[in-house]
């Protein structure tokens, strides 16, 4: 239907867990255009819920130069074929918790204008804390936990307290799932 066809692709840089790729596309009119994209392995997003509240993490983000209130998340590591297994690993690493019940809420593209990342969002319930956090980096070492009522999510989005897209979408999906 679209008539676009990729005619060339070259990785121009590889950095930690992502790459920058130069692509050339033929358009429906026969012209060609070059586009840069970030090739990302994908990420699990976890919405841990207990008694109508979700566990969030307040973490400093260098990209915006301040702390954000976010749900636990991570990235698919090399060899991760199963986003659920990655979600389970990330919940334990970031919070020291496990969940007895997991439900896939959605998979979505957070920034398709320049990145091919797919985020896989899971509701985690039946929480227990058998372990302890395993922080990955200085930001995670000082992050703090905050429980927020799912009933307050629209208010927190409207006020700007919640800014992170994966957190907003995940909490709204979890809220809708738990609504009567």
Active-site residue set: 140
In 44-124, where does DSSP find H-type helix? 83-95
Residues 80, 77: Cα–Cα separation, whole Å: 5
| Cα→Cα distances 154→63, 94, 124, 160, 173, Å | 25, 25, 20, 10, 11
Count of other CB atoms within 10 angstroms of residue 177: 14
Q: 51-84: b or e for each residue (b if 16 or more CB lie within 10 Å)?
A: eeebbbbebeeeeeeeebbbbbbbbbeeebeebe
């Amino acid at each position: 239907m679209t008539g676009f066809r990729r005619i060339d692709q070259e990785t121009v840089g590889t950095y930690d867990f992502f790459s920058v790729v130069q692509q050339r596309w033929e358009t429906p009119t026969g012209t060609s255009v070059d586009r840069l994209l970030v090739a990302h392995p994908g990420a699990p997003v976890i919405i841990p819920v207990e008694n109508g509240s979700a566990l969030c993490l307040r973490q400093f983000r260098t990209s915006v130069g301040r702390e954000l209130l976010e749900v636990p998340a991570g990235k698919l590591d090399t060899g991760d074929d199963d986003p659920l297994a990655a979600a389970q690993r990330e919940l334990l690493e970031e919070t020291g918790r496990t969940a007895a019940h997991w439900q896939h809420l959605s998979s979505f593209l957070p920034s398709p204008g320049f990145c091919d990342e797919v985020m896989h969002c899971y509701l985690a319930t039946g929480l227990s804390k058998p372990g302890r956090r395993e922080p990955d980096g200085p930001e995670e070492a000082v992050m703090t936990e905050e429980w927020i009522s799912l009933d307050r999510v629209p208010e927190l989005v409207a006020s700007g307290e919640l800014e992170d897209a994966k957190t907003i979408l995940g909490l709204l999906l979890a809220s809708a799932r738990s609504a009567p």
